[in-house]
Structure 1
Amino acid sequence: MRAPRRLVSPLGWALLALLLFLLPFLLLRERSYVTLDDNLDVELTIPYLLTRHHVALDYGTTTVVEPVMNGLPRNALRPGLSITMLLFGVLEPLPAYLVQQVLVRLLALLGMYTLLRRHLLRGPTERAVAAGLSLAWAVLPFYSIYGLSVLGQPWLLYAFLNLRRGAGRWTDWLLIAAFPFWSMFVFVGPFVAVALGLLLLWDLGQHRRWSWAVVGGMVLLLGLYLVVEYPLLYSLLVAKQFVPHRLEFNLSQLGPQSWGGALKSAGQYFFMGQYHASRFFRGAILLALAAALLGRNHLAPGRRRVLVLLLAALLAVALFCGVYPRLIEPLQRAVPALGAFNLTRFHFLTALLGFVLLALSLQVVRNGRLVTALVMLQLFAGIGMNTEWLLNVRELAGRPKPTEPNYQQFVAASLFARVQDTIRLATGQAPRDYRLACLGLPPAIAQLNGFYTLDSYQNNYPLAYKHAFRPIIAGELAKNPALRTYFDDWGNRCYLFSAELGKNFRVGAFQQRVVQDFAFDAAAFRRLGGRYVLAAARLARPARSGLIPRGEFSARNAYWHLYLYEVQP
């Protein structure tokens, strides 16, 4: 007698579970919590400004983005040929962000399921395991603003494995060709190329041959990345439009200051990963590997070797990333420009590498209950460390975390509009007619609200501007060696610093902070074109800083309590 047919397949259940996972974002909308650090305080602003000022595809060497740093060269920012830029071009920032998150997580689930069913978990009884792992992959914490850079990697691996087996079709070439248009070259491009190169060398050593189709796929991938990133490469290498501030990076001063600290950092990379590239506990992966290697399983020598090699690769990447700041120090003394390149980004590949290891290990384990428990453990590890999702669930439950505001509270559009209105009534000037800088709040939030700021958080901007900005904050940097190192040896946050606030760059209204002594060089600020300081902390003696109070602003639903100061004429 035939078994009754299932009404919903394992993949269908996984898709339904993913929809439930995404439901808090869809219900909350403007009240959604959006990751703040390195995300809402910088990344959402970039595509918004590029599209709203109609320079997303304007790659002229004289084109600038006026609201940022007195006119930041357009080619210092992300390329315009991307799905992310398209979404921000047709939608407002938050809807664009949420739509991208839904699309990327959906494609992540489908991509992992396709990879597992075609190459790793192909048995008829392994559908449920593949679906469970695919769901666990799709709910991982990650920066969705980077598109498919992390969670889209299964599609890329799937395509290259097809080419490696000689079964490549036009769809595989299409997947490879599409990837550069929805991912970040600086995060994954070179490192995927290195990984594929190692795979080719493995095939050469094992079989005395390699797949020329894989080589062709690599050429296609890197060639299209060059097309997408052409404006940046041309402006830096050919036109020499500006000297990047990254040439003054000194990673040895920012990373662990001892070999013991470097090894501790390596352990964190191995067990937890890195937050930009999906930070989650790798316990389920290691337990599954132990069950496969040590359990009473029929493990072929070839499979054992593959599992051990994958583990060795994870250990090698973690060790390299942990000790890299120490290794680069003597080399950087000889070649200072080496500090501009962050080679630790191999960690962007480790989430996928870990899931491949998990899938291969589970395939060996014969205990169905143990397999189910390990899949569930990985699922809960991803959800449990997905801060963005957890905070949205708290918001829905009416128990928001006061220190982690939602999008509406953080952007506080009506509050910033009142600041604009105050300046307009006093001077008749629109935001484009004056420049301000922010103290205790990210300049990106002011930029999202239409202000033109001298300060900003950027991964790439002219070194000359960093040198011109430094005198404004030199007095505060002199008070605090940690802030001085933070700016001089890194400087991505080209901010107004306060030694009293330290690295608290989002001073909430509930904190009621007062800066007693703000060593601010008003004359240097005026020379750079600055007129106003917008602060989230009150200055106890603004006159000593060459500033005049012009207004105080608060709102019940806003995260900020703002103080407006004007530079003395």
Structure 2
Amino acid sequence: MNIDNLLKWGTFTILVIFFLPLLWLGQDAFVTIHDNLDSDYLYLRLLDISHTAFDFNSTIFNVMNGLPRSAMRSGINLEVLSFVVFEPFTAYTINYLLIHLIGFAGMYLLLKKHFLPNPNQQVIVWGTALAFSVVSTYMVHGISSLGQPLYFYAILNFRKNKFRLSDWLIVVLFPIYSFLVWAGFFSVICAGIILIYDWINLKKLNQALLAAILSTGLVYSLVEFQLIYSFFSKAYTSHRTEFNYDLLMPLKSGICFRETFISFIKTYYHAGEFFTIFIFIIALISLAADKKFHQKRKIISLLLTILGICLFHGFYRFFVQGLASVTELPKAFQFDRFYFLLPMIWYLLFAISLDTVLRWKNGFLLTILAIFIQLSITLNSNREFLVNLDKMFGNPLSLPKEKTISYRAFYAENQFGAIRDFIAIPQADYRVICVGFHPAIAQYNGFYTLDSYQNNYLLGYKHQFRKIIENELAVDKKMKEYFDAWGCRAYAFSHEIRADILYHKTSKAAINNSRLNIEAFKQMNGKYVLSSVPINNAGEIGLVQEKVFDDNDSFWKIYLYSTTTKN
């Protein structure tokens, strides 16, 4: 078997191993909760169960007594469509496979066509594409991160005026499988920088490249027209207008340098987190050893780009506070998300630096070793893969239960179905709040919740909901600042339990002195409180315990309280 076949079969084998735990475990697999199952993933589910995925001028009543449809993601998106066509976990699995495979294909094409085209460099191309494809990224962001190489593969084809129909398809379809606010804006900006750089140097505007960039921007505008229109028309006042950056982002240079350093050594978790020190070391070695000027220039350019993105992210709070008094735009849109480009740039740096290593004596073996080390580092940063690999082999993990909870146990469909049947009232006719666990779980199971984790909702609703928890906030300064200065998590907070802990069925926690304002809750059509911990003073605040629900497949024990006794 020749080297090319070894590379292909080796890559195929490792990708199968990477995908196997999720496919094997199904809904018993662990899926990231933070900013995923508790929110963004649930938004995809909500659009389906509320039948508003393609209803662009509606209200989603399942959440917060009516959330404007424009506050949610566009229905002109492949991920949204997949959740309409398939069951939620099936859609998750399909997208998971597609996103990582697109990551591999994109990096392979980008390197092979534009950076390392020689046949003897193929070991770097295959190995780098493989390591990049297993970066831990959020499925709910589509190809916003792992799709960057494919997009810039097409952009560079336009730059060289060697484009084909497939390149037009890439630049047009990229906006339909990614998101403007996460990566689209920043991808277009970077492509525009390439256009302007060439225009200045060559004294000629590349019309094909300009057309490709404009096409991407136009499709994003069509896909996200609701979001764009609602912002500029001020269709409603968002709770984000009350973001208090003095509390959220204190102007301390030490904090800014720390954020810069963290994003440099391990990128950013939303974009795809992995440790970068080994790549940095390889780059420095290559920079010192290689005598070719163009090689040094590439490495230095990539390192400076990475450093610039990290510095902008780290010191972004200065930028925000500087503009906060002039415009609300920085509150509505995070301009520091160039960090979605970091995984691609780091792996480009890795591949180009390895080209130096490959030319050394025994360079092939050293290159294979370096790829193996970086692949191991990246896989070790992918907690979903590690947890599910252990689960597949039945190995107990020394992690808290909430760190390994399965998809099935988290959403607990049987248990919440039993609660729904016990209440025996159409779910649209009453509202609930959740204590000790994420409202996303109740929403996933069809309950209409007053509490929610939303990135964008009505400011007036924030003030109304605050009345329910105002007494709790009054006795907890940090919780008060957290809600008032940010407010995306409009939760039924309690000063007696932590908001960042999931209280499972064997937890000993309890609430003895709840201060929830049940009268304010009832005024918002609230009738039931679902709690994962007992509320021992329920009667004192106007609640009646109806029943306790448990289920073998569930992570939770749910205490059901009502504002009136069940008929």
Instruction: Give the TM-score, by structure 1 length.
Output: 0.94
Q: How many residues align?
A: 557
Q: How far did residue 210 of structure 1 move?
A: 4.2
For 1:294, the equivalent position in structure 2 comes to 288
Contact 2:529/2:562, CA 8 A, preserved across alignment: yes
Query: In the alignment, is residue 270 of structure 1 matched against residue 264 of structure 2?
Result: yes
- Matches for 1:428-507 after TM superposition, within 5 Å: 429-507=425-503
After TM superposition, what 4+ stretches of structure 1 lie above 4 angstroms from structure 2? Answer: 4-7
Partner residue of 1:415?
Answer: 415
Is 1:344 matched up with 2:336? yes
1:256: Cα distance to partner?
A: 5.2
User: What is the match of residue 15 of structure 1?
Assistant: 12
Distance 2:332 2:232 in 1: 14
Report matched runs for 1:83-482 at 5 Å.
83-238=78-233, 240-255=234-249, 258-295=252-289, 297-299=290-292, 301-365=293-357, 366-367=359-360, 368=363, 369-398=365-394, 399=396, 401=399, 402-403=401-402, 404-424=404-424, 429-482=425-478
Distance 1:7 1:199, change over 3 A: closer
Select 1:45's aligned residue among 42, 45, 50: 42
Aligned to 1:555: 551
What is the CA–CA distance in structure 1 between the aligned matches of 2:220 and 2:49, rounded to whole Å?
25
| Aligned equivalents of 1:526, 1:372: Cα separation in 2 | 64
Larger CA deviation: 499-508 vs 549-558: 499-508
* 8 A Cα contact 2:103 2:149, kept in partner: yes
Question: 1:44 is paired with a residue of what secondary structure?
Answer: helix
> 2:60 is matched by which residue type in structure 1?
V
For the 8 Å contact 1:535–1:563, the answer to whether it is kept is: yes
Distance 1:205 1:374 in 2: 38
**How do 1:66-81 residues align onto structure 2 when only pairs under 5 Å count?**
66-81=61-76
Partners of 2:433 and 2:409 in 1: how far apart?
A: 20
- What's the CA shift for 1:334? 4.5
Q: Give 2:23's match in structure 1, choosing from 23, 26, 29.
A: 26
CA distance in structure 2 between the partners assigned to 1:307 and 1:202 by the alignment: 18
1:565 to 557, 561, 566: 561
Matched residues in 1 for 2:260 and 2:338: separation? 13
Instruction: Output the aligned Cα RMSD.
Output: 1.8
Letter in 2 for 1:419: I
**Alpha-carbon distance in structure 2 between the residues aligned to 1:224 and 1:252:** 36
Q: Cα distance, 1:257 vs. partner?
A: 5.3
In the alignment, the residues of structure 1 paired with residue 135 and residue 253 of structure 2 have an alpha-carbon distance, to the nearest angstrom, of 31
**Equivalent position SS for 1:539:** coil
How far residue 473 of structure 1 moved from its aligned partner, in angstroms, is 0.7
CA contact (8 A) 1:248 1:337 kept: no
Q: Pick from 55, 58, 67: which aligns with 1:58?
A: 55
Q: Which ranges in structure 1 are unaligned for 5 or more consecutive residues?
A: none
Q: Give CA-to-partner distance per residue, 1:359-396, whole Å, 9 cap, x none.
A: 11111222323322221222111100101111111211
Aligned partner of 1:35 in structure 2 is 32
Contact kept? 2:409, 2:554, Cα under 8 Å: yes
Helix, strand or coil: the match of 1:33? coil
CA contact under 8 A between 1:531 and 1:566: conserved in structure 2? yes
Deviation at 1:79, TM superposition (A): 0.5
CA contact (8 A) 2:199 2:206 kept: no
Q: Deviations over 1:73-124 (max 9, x none)?
A: 1121010011111211111111110111011111211111111111111111
Q: Secondary structure at the match of 1:563?
A: strand
1:340 & 1:543 partners in 2: Cα distance?
Answer: 42
Q: Give distance in 2, aligned partners of 1:362 and 1:380.
A: 16
Go from structure 1 to structure 2 and tell me whether the alpha carbon gap of 1:543 and 1:333 turns closer, same or farther (over 3 Å shift).
farther
Instruction: Give the 3-state SS of the residue equivalent to 2:120 in structure 1.
Output: coil
Q: Check conservation: 1:200, 1:210, Cα contact below 8 A.
A: yes
Superposition deviation, residue 260 in structure 1: 0.7
Q: Distance in 2 between matches of 1:256 and 1:461?
A: 24
Distance 2:30 2:464 in 1: 36
Hey, what's the Cα distance between the residues in 2 that align with 1:121 and 1:330?
43
In structure 2, give the amino acid aligned to 1:302: H
**Cα distance between partner residues in 2 of 1:493 and 1:214:** 42
Greater CA drift, 169-178 or 334-343:
334-343
CA change 1:410–1:90 in 2 (3 A) is same
- Alignment match, 1:535: 531
CA distance in 1 between counterparts of 2:413 and 2:131 reads 36
Aligned with 1:509: secondary structure?
coil
* Alpha-carbon shift at residue 354 of structure 1 (Å): 1.0
Secondary structure of the equivalent of 1:360?
Answer: helix
Call closer, same or farther: CA 1:436–1:133 in 2, change over 3 Å: same
Paired AA for residue 222 in structure 1: G
- Cα gap change, 1:98 to 1:498, in 2 (>3 Å): same
SS in 1 for 2:108: helix
TM-score (norm 2): 0.95
Once residues 74 and 300 of structure 2 are traced to their aligned partners in structure 1, the CA distance between those partners, rounded to angstroms, is: 39
Distance 1:235 1:412, change over 3 A: same
Whole-Å separation in 2 of the counterparts to 1:68 and 1:339: 22
- Counterpart-to-counterpart distance in 2, 1:331 and 1:197: 24
8 Å CA contact 2:181–2:333 kept in 1: the answer is no
Contact 1:256 1:265 in 2 (8 A): no
For residue 543 of structure 1, report the CA deviation from its aligned partner. 2.1
Of residues 512, 521, 534, the one that matches 2:517 is 521
CA displacement at 1:298 relative to structure 2: 3.1
C-alpha distance in 2, partners of 1:345/1:248? 21
- The amino acid across from 2:276 in the alignment is R
